[in-house]
Amino acid sequence: MPSTPAEQLAPLISADDLQARISELAREIALAFAAQTPVLVGLLKGSFMFMADLARALHRQGMAPTVDFMIVASYGAGTQTSGSVQLLSDIETEIRGRPVLLVDDILDSGHTLDFCLRRLRRDRPAQLRTCILLDKPARRVIACPTDHVGFTVPNEFIVGYGLDYQGRYRELPGLAVLNISADTPTGRKTNILI
């Protein structure tokens, strides 16, 4: 008889470790932009928590970035990228001639970042760098420039700290690996994610 899949979370990166790494990223970013003031462009929804902490960490480095967001969608209900990215909401900021830092939660196939970089380049920013909290290189399909990376992660489905599974788990203060298992007819557990 089919059973309801069970979701299990395995801690991956603690809230404290995230904050420590974000402080280091802010130092790197402050050096890279020198005395310039970048526009931070975050990709919603996944990057909302990272953007908030990164903006505060940049403030502690003496920077006064402005903040804008794009809403993009590439995922259906499951965990695999669809490959086609949709722009649901664009930035409002005039970025022509300005330094821009594109901020995202996780780089997986690369479709999302590639799409957003192309969109932003059209407006001819003076400088365009990327800051990605998590890099999952095992699943890359499109090569993307990653200037600032928080952590390299294994090929697992990760939730928490803004990252979701079907809209859930974004509120977790740390990151966890999500495993979903279901009983097979033989009584063995099988992982049905990825």
Residues 147 and 117: their CA atoms lie apart, in Å, by 13
CA 117 to each of CA 78, 110, 146: distance values in angstroms, whole numbers, following the listed order? 25, 11, 11
Residue 130 interacts with, from ligand IMP, Mg ion, none (CB under 5-8 Å by kind): none
How many residues are present in the chain? 194
The footprint of ligand IMP (CB under 6 A) covers 43, 46, 74-75, 81, 104-113, 157-159, 163
Nearer to Mg ion among residue 63 and residue 176 (C-beta):
176
Give yes or no: 108 in active site: yes
Q: Which long-range contacts (CB under 8 A, 24 or more apart) does 136-142 make?
A: 136/106, 136/107, 136/108, 139/108, 139/109, 140/107, 140/108, 140/109, 140/110, 141/83, 141/109, 141/110, 141/111, 142/109, 142/110, 142/111, 142/113, 142/114
162 counts as binding Mg ion under rule CB under 5 A: no
Q: How far is the CB of 90 from ligand IMP (least distance, A)?
A: 17
Nearer to ligand IMP among residue 33 and residue 157 (C-beta):
157
One-letter amino acid identity for 44?
L
Q: How far is the CB of 31 from Mg ion (least distance, A)?
A: 26
Query: CA 149: distance to chain centroid?
Result: 10
Nearer to ligand IMP among residue 74 and residue 181 (C-beta):
74
160 counts as binding Mg ion under rule CB under 5 A: no
46 counts as binding Mg ion under rule CB under 5 A: yes
Nearer to ligand IMP among residue 126 and residue 138 (C-beta):
138
Residue closest to Mg ion when measured from CB atoms: 46
Q: Which residues bind Mg ion (CB under 5 A)?
A: 46
The residues that are catalytic are 108
